[in-house]
Amino acid sequence: MRILVNNIKSTNSTLLVRQLKRIRSFPVDVWGTDISAAGHIASSNFVDRYFQAPNINNEKEYLQFINELSDKHKIDYLFVSTDKEVRFLNRHKDEITIPFDNCPSDTINIFQDKLEANRSIEKMGIKVPTIYDSLFGKDKVIFRKRCSVSSQGIYIVDLSKASHIENHFHTDWFAQKYETGTTYVVDIFADKNGSPKLILPRKSLEKQMGSAFRSQIVKHDKLIQICKQIYSKYRIPGLSNVEFIENDSGIYFIEINLRIGGSASEGMIASFNYVEQYLDHFVNGANLESLEYYMNCVAWDSIVSRYYDEVLFNASLDS
């Protein structure tokens, strides 16, 4: 099975490459692309074949590159791993010649817009941080860019203390009450129909550079039920993740990412490499076990910490 992972310098794609290389129940060749030359990013040394790609922002050239790669090398499956790729494939789904799985267009349109996502989730009776139309008399607020990635597009300010603030009063930004508390990221593995087969909450214990660095895998029943409620309406297939904040006032929805999380490896270490089950189901058509079955495969309350390693690429030795 020949699998393509793009933008492999990203944390999400690096995780995918690592988990794909660990599959043993069927043969997998992992091919990767990125805009950098081979050796200039660590993950180019981990894939079976690497290709330098045009920037995805140049959509016409990138589309041609992907399709030529597929036609020439017979790629079996494209594993979607980044937010930009989710949106790109949604726009060009009828032109891509490599098989892939993505969310329905209407679901993508909702959750790529953080304001629309919060409003939609709030209508379901799930708490979200208060969305402000006016900031008069407010204290600490968070400005969020409506279409942004991870921790980018965020500006936090205490209006009661700041002598001046950045100008984010634009239609592509919105303001919410700044909620503090315990951060949870819930990794979701769902079947082709968007029915969850694994709901894996991770309690953030430490962050570095905006990403979870140390987490605890917790069986948080309320979070699991909220995720079931969300996914019963928005049938999101494959791998995704949902972020929440919990404090004395309750549990607040923050966002959904329609792709694998960059820290999902923390949950896999405490459970199993469900990337294998994903491929077997989405590519080979294998049936999946029940949610209850996979939830019993988790080492609940485990604490997982991450570390970073270095990779050397010596072009002179390689030649």
The verdict on 190 and 167 lying in the same domain is: no
Pair 272, 265: CB distance under 8 Å: no
**Residue 23: predicted pLDDT:** 94
Q: What's the domain count of the chain?
A: 3
Residues 154 and 189 in one domain: no
Arithmetic mean of pLDDT over the chain? 92
pLDDT of residue 52: 96
Looking at the domain assignment, is residue 318 inside a domain?
no
The reply to whether 191 and 293 lie within a common domain is yes
Secondary structure letter of residue 42 according to DSSP: G
Q: Are residues 143 and 201 in the same domain?
A: no
Report, in this order, helix, strand and coil percent for the chain, each rounded to 5. 30, 25, 45
Query: Do 90 and 189 reside in the same domain of the chain?
Result: no
- Residues 186, 221, single domain; the answer is yes
Dihedrals phi, psi of 197, to nearest 5 degrees = -115, -15
169 within domain boundaries: yes
315 located within any domain: no
In this structure, what CATH number is given to the domain that contains residue 200? Answer: 3.30.470.20
User: For residue 122, is pLDDT > 80?
Assistant: yes
Entry pTM: 0.91
Q: Which domain holds residue 233?
A: 108-114+181-305
pLDDT 10s digits, 179-211: 999 999 999 999 999 999 999 999 999 876 556
Over residues 287-313, the pLDDT tens digits come to 999 999 999 999 999 999 877 666 666
The H-or-E segment that residue 198 falls in is strand 196-208
Strand ordering across the sheet containing 131-132: 131-132, 173-177, 140-145, 154-158
Backbone angles phi and psi of 33, in degrees to 5: -135, 155
In a domain, 77, yes or no: yes
Whether 198 and 97 share a structural domain:
no
Task: Looking at the structure, tell me whether residues 195 and 285 fall in a common domain.
Answer: yes
Residue 211 lies in a domain: yes
pLDDT tens string 77-96 = 999 988 899 999 999 999 99
Mark whether 300 and 187 lie in a shared domain: yes
Pair (160, 192) in one structural domain: no
